[in-house]
């Protein structure tokens, strides 16, 4: 009887260890993608000309997308996807006015800091991406290209 109890504990422990500590599995049928976003004062990417030549990021509709942001500036910046068809003001002085217009945002990233966040890519289309910090749009913007 004692041997049986020890054997039972051994089996139970093995089962418990087997269940714990595993990586979260990717959702079936969707892929995981990463986009890298470099932030500067006051623009995304390599060139301070976002208003006329916005940088584009490509993802697949339905994919779990990890945004890896690297703020190389000294100011706070955000990376926010604007709802399809939303009308943006010419400039943003009060970011609270944007609440209904934003599909997803990673939140503010402090100067010199990095941040990662994840979202599920929406339906196919071309989405405007903006920095919601007051005064940064239209200088700081890009395009999220979602492939079907």
77 contacts Cu ion (rule: CB under 5 A): yes
Cα distances from 4 to residues 1, 7, 13, 53, 120, in angstroms, run 5, 5, 14, 72, 49
CB of 100 to Cu ion, least distance (A): 20
Residue closer to Cu ion, measured from CB, 77 or 115:
77
Judged by CB under 5 A, the chain residues 109 through 148 that form the site for Cu ion are 131, 133, 136, 140
Q: CB of 113 within 8 A of CB of 106?
A: no
Residue closer to Cu ion, measured from CB, 62 or 73:
73
What is the DSSP annotation of 64-122?
Answer: EEEEEEEE-SSS-B--EEEPTTPPPPSS-S-GGGGTTTEEEE---B-TT-EEEEEEE--
Contacts with Cu ion: how many residues (CB under 5 A)? Answer: 5
CB of 103 to Cu ion, least distance (A): 18
CB of 40 to Cu ion, least distance (A): 9
Taking residues 26 to 55 in sequence order and writing x for each that binds Cu ion by CB under 5 A, - otherwise, the string is: ------------------------------
Residue closer to Cu ion, measured from CB, 67 or 133:
133
d(CA 9, CA 4): 9
Judged by CB under 5 A, the chain residues 55 through 74 that form the site for Cu ion are none
| Burial (Cβ within 10 Å: 0-12, 13-18, ≥19) of residue 61 | middle
* Positions that interact with Cu ion (CB under 5 A): 77, 131, 133, 136, 140
């Amino acid at each position: 009887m004692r041997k049986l109890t020890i054997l039972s504990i051994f089996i139970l422990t093995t089962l418990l260890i087997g269940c714990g500590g595993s990586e979260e599995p990717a959702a079936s049928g969707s892929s995981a993608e990463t986009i890298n976003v470099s932030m500067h004062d006051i623009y995304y990417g390599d060139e301070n000309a976002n208003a006329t030549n916005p940088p584009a990021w490509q993802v697949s509709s339905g994919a779990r997308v990890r945004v890896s942001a690297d703020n190389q500036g000294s100011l706070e910046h955000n990376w926010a996807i604007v709802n399809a068809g939303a009308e943006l003001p010419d400039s943003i002085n009060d970011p609270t006015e944007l609440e209904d217009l934003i599909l997803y945002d990673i939140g503010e990233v402090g100067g010199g800091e990095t941040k990662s966040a994840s979202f599920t890519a929406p339906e196919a289309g071309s989405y405007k991406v903006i920095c919601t910090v007051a005064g940064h749009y239209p200088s700081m913007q890009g395009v999220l290209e979602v492939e079907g």
